[in-house]
Amino acid sequence: MELKFHLNGTPMNIDIGDPDTPIVFVLREHLNLKGTKFGCLEGLCGACTIHVDGVATRSCQAPASDMDGAEITTIEGLPKDASHPVQQAWMEMRVPQCGYCQSGQIMQAVAFLSEEPEPERQDIVDAMSGNLCRCGTGPRIHDAVELAAKLAREG
C-alpha cells in the first residue's frame, strides 16, 4: 500500500506493504525514527504517543492505512533547540530517570497543553494518567507539565 502523509512537516510518500501495520512500525522501521517507542502494543502504556492531526494518538493502535493524508508529528518534530515549553520544563525539572516513556509523555503533554493552556493540577494528573512511568518520575512529570503551562503563558 502506498501511503501519503506529512511527517514533522515534510511530505512523505512510501510503500508500507500491509495496510494494517501499526504506524509505530512504519515510523521506526521504514523511516528510522526511533524516538517513538513501543511497549505494550495494546495502547495502554502511552510510550508510542504521537500527534495525528494535532491529537495525541497511540501509534501502536493506529493502522498505517488510517494515516493517509494525515499530519503526523513525532518527538523528532519538536524543536531541535529544545525551545518548546514542555521540553524546557522537562529539562528544568530533570524529569527522565530511565527515559523509556519520555517521548510519549512529552507528546501527551504537548497535546494536552495545546487544548488546556491553564490546567489545574488534577487536570494534569488526569491527562497524563494514560501514560505509564515505571521508574517513579510521575510526580516530576506532573510538575513539569505545570511548569510548561506557566512557561507557555509567560511566552
Residue 97 or 115, more confident = 115
Query: How does pLDDT run across 110-144, given as a tens digit for each residue?
Result: 999 999 999 999 999 999 999 999 888 999 999 99
CA separation, residue 22 to residues 30, 49, 54, 63 (Å):
12, 12, 18, 4
- Distance between CA atoms of residues 55 and 18, nearest Å: 24
CA atoms within 13 A on the CB side of 23: 28
CATH, domain 2-76, list 3.40.30.20, 3.10.20.30, 2.60.120.380, 3.90.660.10: 3.10.20.30
Give Cα 142 to chain centroid, integer Å: 16
Cell numbers 515534510 label which residue? Answer: 10
pLDDT at 155 over 90: no
Give the single-character DSSP code of 29.
I
- State pTM to two decimals: 0.95
CA separation, residue 121 to residues 3, 63, 135, 147 (Å):
40, 33, 21, 11
The H-assigned helical ranges of 22-137 are: 23-25, 85-92, 102-115, 121-128
Q: Where are the domains of the chain?
A: 2-76, 85-154
Sorting pLDDT into bands at 50, 70 and 90, what band is 75? very high
Q: Which fold has domain 85-154?
A: DNA polymerase; domain 1 (1.10.150)
- Examine domains 2-76 and 85-154 and report if their fold is the same: no
In terms of Cα–Cα distance, which of 85, 80, 120, 92 is closest to 106? 85
- Distance between CA atoms of residues 39 and 58, nearest Å: 11
pLDDT at 98 (0 to 100): 87
Query: How does pLDDT run across 18-70, given as a tens digit for each residue?
Result: 999 999 999 999 999 999 999 999 999 999 999 999 999 999 999 999 999 99
